[in-house]
């Protein structure tokens, strides 16, 4: 993510400080059948933990898949209830959508989190809205976007680009969605194998 964009939203989390051999994989838009279980299977092979930014509507439809992620030691987080853009929806509507997704998450979590994580869909959020949300949530962005959702992006190029821009402490975005399926199924196993081979660990935020 370009530095000027980061400076516009300084209170958002873009990457993680900490151990030099750790990466933070995140998965947006699930949980859904097929793709989320595939991700869980790949992560388990490397004892990798990740953070799943869940769409509330998908939590309602597929709570058992979300429970599988929790049982495997992963973290669930907020991606709004209806996958709304913070640029094109009124602030009250957007905040209500965030709150509704958080309600669905709290039904699944052992206990409500003091400061839950939130990722705005598409990364589209205004500075005033980010200030409001950061009072109750930690807004999480990223420094590596795999673009696995782009069906015009060849899978080998997607993998090469993701590897090129990853560095220690990176927050990396994948998507456990049908739209991303082709690239996700090619890239994720190879990405995990590459960085595990270099001695990296994969942790939840």
Exactly one of 11, 28, 83, 97 is catalytic; which is it? 28
Structural domain boundaries enclosing 97: 3-202
Answer left, alpha or beta for residue 24, where phi above 0 means left and psi between -120 and 50 means alpha: beta
Over 80: is that where the pLDDT of 185 sits? yes
- Per the annotation, the verdict on 28 as an active-site residue is yes
Over 90: is that where the pLDDT of 196 sits? yes
Give the whole-angstrom CA distance, residue 170 versus residue 205: 11
Exactly one of 89, 175, 176, 194 is catalytic; which is it? 175
* Cβ-based neighbours of 69, under 8 Å, separated by 6 or more: 31, 36, 40, 52, 76
Q: What is the pTM of this model?
A: 0.96
What digits encode the pLDDT tens for the residues 23-75? Answer: 999 999 999 999 999 999 999 999 999 999 999 999 999 999 999 999 999 99
CATH number for the domain that contains residue 33: 3.20.20.370
The pLDDT-based confidence of 18 (bands split at 50, 70, 90) is confident
The number of distinct structural domains making up the chain is 1
- Per the annotation, the verdict on 175 as an active-site residue is yes
């Amino acid at each position: 993510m370009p530095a000027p964009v980061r400076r516009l939203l300084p209170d958002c989390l873009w990457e993680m400080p900490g151990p030099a051999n750790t990466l933070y994989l995140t998965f947006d838009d699930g949980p859904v059948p097929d793709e989320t279980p595939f991700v869980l299977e790949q992560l388990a092979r490397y004892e990798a933990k990740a953070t799943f930014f869940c769409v509330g509507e998908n939590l309602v439809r597929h709570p058992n898949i979300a429970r599988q992620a929790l049982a495997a030691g992963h973290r669930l987080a907020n991606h709004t209830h209806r996958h709304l853009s913070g640029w094109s929806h009124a602030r009250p509507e957007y905040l209500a959508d965030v709150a509704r997704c958080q309600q669905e998450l709290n039904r699944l979590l052992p206990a409500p989190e003091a400061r839950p994580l939130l990722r705005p869909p598409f990364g589209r959020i205004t500075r005033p809205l980010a200030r409001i949300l950061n009072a109750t949530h930690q807004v999480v962005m990223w420094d590596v976007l795999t673009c696995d959702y782009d069906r015009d992006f060849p899978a080998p190029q997607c993998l090469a680009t993701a590897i090129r821009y990853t560095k220690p402490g990176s927050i990396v975005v994948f998507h456990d969605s049908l739209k991303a399926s082709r690239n996700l199924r090619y890239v994720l196993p190879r990405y995990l194998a590459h960085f595990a081979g270099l001695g990296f660990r994969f942790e939840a935020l």
